[in-house]
Structure 1
């Protein structure tokens, strides 16, 4: 199936595997790419050297195009951009809007720039700055999310911008792909569905919690970092929501220190990143501090398998996913379902003939 997304990126199918922190590593990204999707490597939880190593590992596993997801507000963003350019990565994706200068730098180097947005005005801004495409995520999506449903947000963005639009939030099968195409999207992006595949390195116990979840078990909370975050409701989430302010901030300080050790960042670099984050989102200092909770609480579950100590970001589709296919099986199934749905749609028929005008009374 050829769309504006496949022509832009070189992927065989109009499907994007999103850059999920601690989840979208070389194994998953290369498997998605080899199966024909656009795999996106998550770099926010990697040091600069780890990113270069991961990019080279993906390149050694696949000849298909892939991308790297970046934090635009990171102090070392330009250093990471240089790795993307030097290593010949096809796509750079951003969860937050990058600067116009960063977009120009990447495009001048032949890198496709895709920005994730949650509002029409954000899509308009990055498109005006030169972004090649946008991923628009509705409120059904996992992780940080908004409150507008994909079915409402997607057509707004399609109508507002002249670049390919990729639909995210609530997609997991071929019916969703066809629906997105009908709205005018060039493809779909999926996170939770790829997290629940055979090549995902998420521990089996955590995958089991996802598979056991119902739609009603997926909630949105601000207790992790002060921003709306969609995840599976657990006892830990309940505990975070009932914690007092002092206890919450103390936990955030500990997590900030732990993340500094893992990332190799200095305290001064973390402060600079915090300043950039505060400016970009107009956050209070307490919210900036709470942001350190997110990577560490996700790591506890996604890497260490501690569902009691970590949070599990999840789109609402987690409540309807029941299996762990390989990426090849998943993408083959999505494309087969899409073909079946398209083939079953009723053919357009000519409009009915108008009724003849009424005869006048004698």
Structure 2
């Protein structure tokens, strides 16, 4: 385990040793991965969207039993029980609350009142300015190279646009860059742009501390740079995932042919989540309001947790989808979190020193 080599606004804000964030991936970012990242000196983020409230509390306590270092929990701002989940973070002294969508100002205020660092994920410069004006402590920005739900603008363009917008607004806060990062070169580049750290999802999924089944990890490792595809056929929104036979069949099938499987998976998700039809409807209305999804898209969205679980937890790649960033084509090993973080930070520090040598006295 290496000493601190890089001090950035993110390490100062959160109290971690290294400016490396393991993102909150549903079904992947559990206690083992989060605590492994935290013990390695990075910021581990527990994914809570696929957990019930009781499961989330159990997971927080398990992380607490594995590490004394700071960690975070990723929350859905539009979840019907978002306030209850925030109170759970407060009760257990979780250091960071990250959000997939912008939380309401009053929720940010509640968390900050109890010393919790609030880091929403955003996809556009104007959204960064908005959440900064609401009191967010930092933002994570993911470019189109990233896995899961993603936009079309690459990180190399989106990151400077967000940084410039925050500076122009007079509300500069730390920015974590995500989408396309997997090694020290990327971290050095992000810091040179002005970011305070990097977020990595696919790279942490492919570690020894990840509980994704080994055959699924090997499937990821077998894909090249052209091994991912962005499709809206899974949940109605652009979603980057591995290019598999299942994804190809989804893209080729009509809405009518997908209707029955969609209903079946919705029922499976209802049983697994313990939610009532009224709660599902309430969450659907919230998603429609915050994300502008159509009813057809909402029906597809209910499938996503079940299909991701099939692949990432049960290892059934014939029935599950596998979210993946484009960096999957550049990854060829399964290090521990400690080995990964040490390697990324050491290489970044070396690259930055080498870059400084180009300066003339």
Normalised to the residue count of structure 1, the TM-score between the two structures is 0.95
> Which residue number corresponds to residue 244 of structure 2?
234
Which runs of 5 or more residues in structure 2 are unaligned?
1-5, 167-171
Between Structure 1 and Structure 2, how many residues are aligned?
350
> Which residue number corresponds to residue 86 of structure 1?
91
Deviation per residue, 1:308-342 (Å, 9 max, x gap): 11111000000000000000000000011112211
- Greater mean deviation of Cα atoms: 334-343 or 81-90: 334-343
> Mapping of 1:52-201 within 5 angstroms?
52-161=57-166, 162-201=172-211
What is the alpha-carbon distance in structure 2 between the residues aligned to residue 249 and residue 106 of structure 1? 40
Alignment match of 1:298 (pick from 308, 321, 343): 308
Displacement of 1:172: 0.4
Partner SS, residue 28 of structure 1: helix
Q: Which has the higher contact order (CA 8 A, sep 6+)?
A: 2
Displacement of 1:124: 1.3
Q: Quick check: 1:323 aligned with 2:346?
A: no
Give yes or no for contact 1:166–1:186 (8 Å, CA) kept in 2: yes
> Which residue number corresponds to residue 224 of structure 2?
214
Displacement of 1:265: 1.1
Give yes or no for contact 1:249–1:286 (8 Å, CA) kept in 2: no
Which runs of 5 or more residues in structure 1 are unaligned?
351-362
What is the alpha-carbon distance in structure 2 between the residues aligned to residue 253 and residue 73 of structure 1? 22
> Which residue number corresponds to residue 4 of structure 1?
9
Displacement of 1:36: 0.4
Give yes or no for contact 1:69–1:94 (8 Å, CA) kept in 2: yes
What is the alpha-carbon distance in structure 2 between the residues aligned to residue 195 and residue 242 of structure 1? 28
Partner SS, residue 226 of structure 2: helix
> Mapping of 1:16-31 within 5 angstroms?
16-31=21-36
Q: Quick check: 1:42 aligned with 2:47?
A: yes
Q: Quick check: 1:271 aligned with 2:281?
A: yes
What is the alpha-carbon distance in structure 1 between the residues aligned to residue 74 and residue 293 of structure 2? 23
Partner SS, residue 345 of structure 2: helix
Displacement of 1:250: 2.4
What is the alpha-carbon distance in structure 2 between the residues aligned to residue 220 and residue 96 of structure 1? 20
Displacement of 1:307: 1.1
Q: Quick check: 1:348 aligned with 2:359?
A: yes
Displacement of 1:266: 1.1
What is the alpha-carbon distance in structure 1 between the residues aligned to residue 264 and residue 138 of structure 2? 38
Deviation per residue, 1:139-182 (Å, 9 max, x gap): 00000000000000000111112110000000000000010001
Partner SS, residue 98 of structure 1: coil
Deviation per residue, 1:238-269 (Å, 9 max, x gap): 11111211222322221111111111111111
Partner SS, residue 155 of structure 1: helix
